[in-house]
Amino acid sequence: MSERLPSHLQTIVDNVCAEGCKQVYDYIDKLENHLHPDGERLDPQEQSLLLRELNAIMAVYKARS
């Protein structure tokens, strides 16, 4: 979460996070396997940014357990 995401990627993050932790982990899994979650057509750089952002968000939950 160190760099500002482009608005279209931030919208994806917001929407995925609103669905809950399981959805976020599913999205992360798809990104790690170079799949296009939810039919999104993202270039490799966008996928990398999303993956980094979602992992940073979920790290908060891992640190608590």
Task: Work out the average pLDDT over 16-21.
Answer: 96
- Does residue 2 surpass a pLDDT of 50? no
Domain ranges for the chain, please list them. Answer: 7-64
Average pLDDT, the chain: 89
CB atoms within 10 A of CB 10: 14
The token pair at 4 is 């500002």
Helix (H), strand (E), coil (C) string for 37-64: HHHCCCCHHHHHHHHHHHHHHHHHHHHH
- Does residue 15 surpass a pLDDT of 60? yes
Distance from chain centroid for Cα 18: 12
